[in-house]
Amino acid sequence: MNRFDRITSLLLLLQTRSVVTARFLSDHFNVTERTIYRDIRSLENAGVPIGAEAGVGYFLERGYRLPPVSFTLDEAAALLLGEKLLVASLDNHSLQDFKQALNKVRAVIDTTDKDHLSSFDEDIEVLPTGSHFPIDNADRHDQTTISPAGTGQHSQQQDAGSSAGTMHSGDRWLRECRSALVQRQVVEIDYVALSSNRHSTREIEPIGLFYYSWHWHFIAWCRLREAYRDFRLDRIVSFTPQPQQFTRHSRLTLQQYLSQQPGRDELLEVELLFGPEAARFVGEQRYMFGFVDEQRRPGGVKMRFLTHVPEYMARWLLQYTDDVEVISGDPIKLALEQFSQQLATHWNNKSPPS
């Protein structure tokens, strides 16, 4: 961030809080406190009435307000992504409030940007499985570390400073993907296949962003394979937009592509009744198995899930023994029976200690 943008952002940040410390500002902008002092002085020299209290922090004098703030297309698109992710994570009233706030953003952006945002809205889909935020940065199913084949302006490394407790998916290139979708640009990517861990360079024509299984996926027509392909964002090593554009109507829409995928219709709906004791310990683990909603019942808590791997879910449920009941979802019942028999056989065959 250059100095002008940082000072502008600093002024906006001062409006969002009654008081802020130099330490908070330096951490927020990743600069030294000495730099913050110089930025504050620049704002004061420009006539911004900033007050300061030793040991407390900086604040704007009462009555000072910036003129109405405009939004860039990138900022509005980021809010649109947030709306998609929040659909299954907020109650209806909060979600409506968020949508209303987003509509106010749409109202103040340029007409051309409004058209781009409406088009981008159709290019995003989130699989509604209840939770869309990973518990930590670790990919639960794939621990392979991706190493870039080379370095360059468009290569982006995963943030080495990310901690296991932060709520990030680890995905990259979201902003670049948004821009490519809006501009209908051909993109050259260096991609690492999940199955073989091999690098390949592809030219693709993007049709949408799809969030499922804890990651964003870039759906595109691959010129190398001459077919539609699903590229997981955290496995894209480099992302280089090309000057050429492609004709949008020559490709499927994201919704048309998804409707052709058999796996989407193979999700199994499962209803479970957890006893009061077991329900206390389900916690955030349920979000890893497609949790949708819950209802309090006299005998405990009924929870509904959507899963495409019943065996995986059944292994998780074994720990709750007789304190969970499968209301619906016969494949789960069958898997639980099989695993229980295997456990019984395993322990019965163990020799007693001498």
DSSP string across 118-182: HHHHTTEEE--SS--S-SSSS-SS--PPP--SS--TTB----TT--TTS-------HHHHHHHHH
Q: What is the pLDDT of residues 50-100, one digit of tens each?
A: 998 888 899 888 777 666 667 777 888 888 888 887 776 667 788 778 877
Element (H, E) at 184: none
| Structural domains in the chain, sorted by start | 3-60 (1.10.10.10), 122-261 (no CATH), 267-348 (3.30.70.240)
Distance between first and last Cα of the chain: 69
What is the pLDDT tens value at each position of the chain, 354 positions in all?
A: 788 888 888 887 887 778 889 999 999 899 999 999 999 999 999 888 999 888 889 988 877 766 666 777 788 888 888 888 777 666 778 877 887 787 777 777 777 777 777 778 889 988 754 433 333 333 333 334 444 444 333 444 333 333 333 334 556 898 899 889 988 999 999 998 866 678 899 999 999 999 876 788 999 999 999 999 999 898 999 999 999 999 888 899 998 888 887 554 467 889 999 999 999 888 878 877 888 889 998 889 999 988 877 888 999 999 999 999 999 999 999 999 999 999 999 988 876 665
pTM, rounded to two decimals: 0.56
Q: Contact 72/105 with Cβ under 8 angstroms?
A: no
| Token couple for 208 | 């949408």
Q: Which burial class, exposed, middle or buried, applies to 291 when counting CB atoms under 10 A from its CB (0-12, 13-18, 19+)? A: buried
Alpha-carbon separation of residue 320 from 246, 256, 281, 291 (angstroms): 53, 41, 9, 17
Element (H, E) at 303: strand 300-307
Count of CB atoms within 10 A of residue 25's CB?
23
Report d(CA 196, CA 308) in Å as an integer: 23
Report d(CA 204, CA 188) in Å as an integer: 6
Element (H, E) at 39: helix 33-45
